[in-house]
């Protein structure tokens, strides 16, 4: 027989809004909040996903994520989007921003991030206002200050030296920023949100929300993101060498890279990355966690914990260690039946129908990212294996996503061809 409780405990669910919930990272974050554990009983998250296209609503609903279909497609749409969200809840415990606008037009990108920040401010204004609870008894619901987890990325810091280099240092949260042009607007948008949240309005009041910037290293798993491009590269190279192998024997079936073997590829599984968002929210909402030293607000050396240690901060998310291109290349070679690998190959040695230039974004961007800060503060740690350790499983998942018409696979394919419009 099941156990019985002598008392009945009721609670209002914690509300989490994921802006961009149908994206590769957004969908993982949505699932992570749904399965969130280690919350003080009887709390749980009710997850809402803001999406642009009605065609994506069914997939969210099937995962028990409440879809909100609305788009910030014009200056006049902000009020409509805000009202569409507030129709579901007036208060928001957590708001996660994980959108990826067109990156081909800097003006459009800047407008996108401006609109997202305006949306967050509007939702925060409603959430921090005292309003009827909806119970019919005239009761007033408590104001809630949203915790905004704003997604940026580890590319904000630029590159590090190669593995084994004398000047190699990991990028910590205090490292100087040097983003490539393709993500610069995203970097600046996140910093602007942090600035607004930490400042005061014209009337001297606070902005009404707390911001945390999350800078994750490249993510893998399922439809693969840019690790999917690594799998595509190996598959294309295998096809290109088939004829050469017939003509010259197995010696010709070598997987070649123009990048250095010591290039650092530091990644993390997308599920582990998503769990890091939940860890930050859990610690902030329930004021738990290990004391830390404030590094970013002029109060260096002041011990803080709970929400005070998280709000206004930047947190990196990365795997327990980095891999090198030598490791990843060797794993790819074994998976696709090559006889060996070769690195630092000149362009004229590459097969004509293999796009080695766009693959430099995957194989040639060396970066080591420290995630010690979030680990020490929240206890977060990853559970999934590294890319090179589980490459066959990741390949099977990626190919299934590709066969199923995954939007993420198609988006990454276009970007690897130089089309960053969406």
In SS3 terms, 32-74 reads as HHHCCCCCCCCCCEEEEEEECCHHHHHHHHHCCCEEEECCCCC
Overall average pLDDT of the 302-326 stretch: 91
Other Cβ atoms within 10 Å of 291 Cβ, number: 13
- Give the relative orientation of helices 77-86 and 106-127 as an angle to the nearest 10 degrees: 40
Region 18-39: mean pLDDT is: 94
Candidates 304, 69, 28; CA nearest to 151 is 28
pLDDT at 279 over 50: yes
**Among candidates 66, 83, 75, 65, which has minimal Cα distance to 123?**
83
pTM: 0.91
Contacting residues for 279 by C-beta, under 8 A, at least 6 apart? 374, 378, 379, 380
Pairing of strands 94-97, 66-69: unpaired
- Helix residue spans in 77-105 (DSSP H): 77-86
Across the range 240-248, mean pLDDT stands at 63
As a whole number of angstroms, the distance between CA 145 and CA 196 comes to 14
For the stretch 374-400, pLDDT in tens is 999 999 999 999 999 999 999 999 999
pLDDT at 198: 87
pLDDT value of residue 137 = 45
Distance between CA 230 and CA 325 in Å, rounded?
Answer: 11
41/164 Cα distance (integer angstroms): 47
pLDDT score at 139: 52
């Amino acid at each position: 027989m099941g156990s019985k409780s002598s008392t009945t405990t009721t609670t209002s669910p914690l509300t989490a809004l994921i802006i961009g919930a149908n994206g590769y990272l957004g969908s993982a974050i949505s699932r992570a909040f749904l399965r969130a554990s280690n919350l003080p009983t009887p709390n749980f998250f009710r997850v809402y996903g803001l999406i642009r296209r009605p065609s994506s609503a069914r997939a969210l609903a099937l995962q028990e994520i409440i879809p909100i279909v609305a788009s910030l497609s014009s200056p006049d749409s902000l009020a409509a989007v805000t009202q569409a969200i507030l129709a579901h809840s007036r208060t928001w415990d957590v708001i996660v921003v994980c959108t990826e606008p067109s990156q081909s037009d800097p003006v459009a990108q800047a407008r996108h991030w401006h609109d997202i920040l305006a949306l967050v401010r509007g939702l925060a204004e409603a959430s921090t206002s005292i309003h009827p609870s909806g119970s019919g008894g005239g009761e007033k619901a408590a104001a809630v200050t949203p915790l905004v987890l704003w997604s940026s990325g580890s590319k904000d810091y630029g590159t590090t030296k190669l593995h084994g280099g004398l000047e190699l240092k990991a990028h910590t949260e205090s490292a100087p920023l040097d983003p490539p042009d393709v993500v610069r607007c995203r970097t600046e948008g996140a910093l602007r949100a942090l600035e607004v949240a930490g400042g005061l309005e014209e009337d001297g009041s606070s902005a009404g929300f707390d911001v945390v910037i999350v800078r994750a290293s490249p993510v893998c798993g399922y439809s693969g993101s840019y690790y999917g491009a690594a799998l595509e590269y190996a598959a294309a190279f295998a096809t290109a060498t088939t004829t050469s192998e017939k003509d010259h024997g197995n010696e010709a079936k070598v997987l070649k890279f123009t990048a250095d073997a010591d290039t650092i590829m530091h990644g993390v599984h997308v599920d582990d990355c998503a769990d890091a968002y939940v860890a930050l929210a859990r610690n902030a909402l329930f004021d738990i966690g290990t004391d830390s030293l404030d590094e970013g607000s002029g109060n260096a050396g002041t011990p803080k914990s709970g929400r005070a240690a998280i709000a206004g901060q930047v947190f990196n998310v990365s795997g327990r260690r980095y891999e090198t291109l030598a490791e990843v290349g060797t794993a790819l070679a074994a998976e696709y039946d090559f006889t060996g690998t070769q690195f630092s190959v000149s362009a004229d040695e590459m097969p004509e129908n293999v796009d080695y230039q766009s693959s430099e974004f995957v194989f040639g961007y060396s970066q080591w990212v420290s995630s010690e800060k979030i680990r020490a503060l929240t206890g977060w740690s990853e559970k999934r294996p590294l890319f090179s350790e589980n490459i066959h499983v990741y390949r099977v998942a990626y190919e299934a996503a590709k066969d199923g018409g995954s939007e993420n696979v198609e988006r990454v394919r276009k970007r690897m061809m130089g089309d960053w419009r969406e």
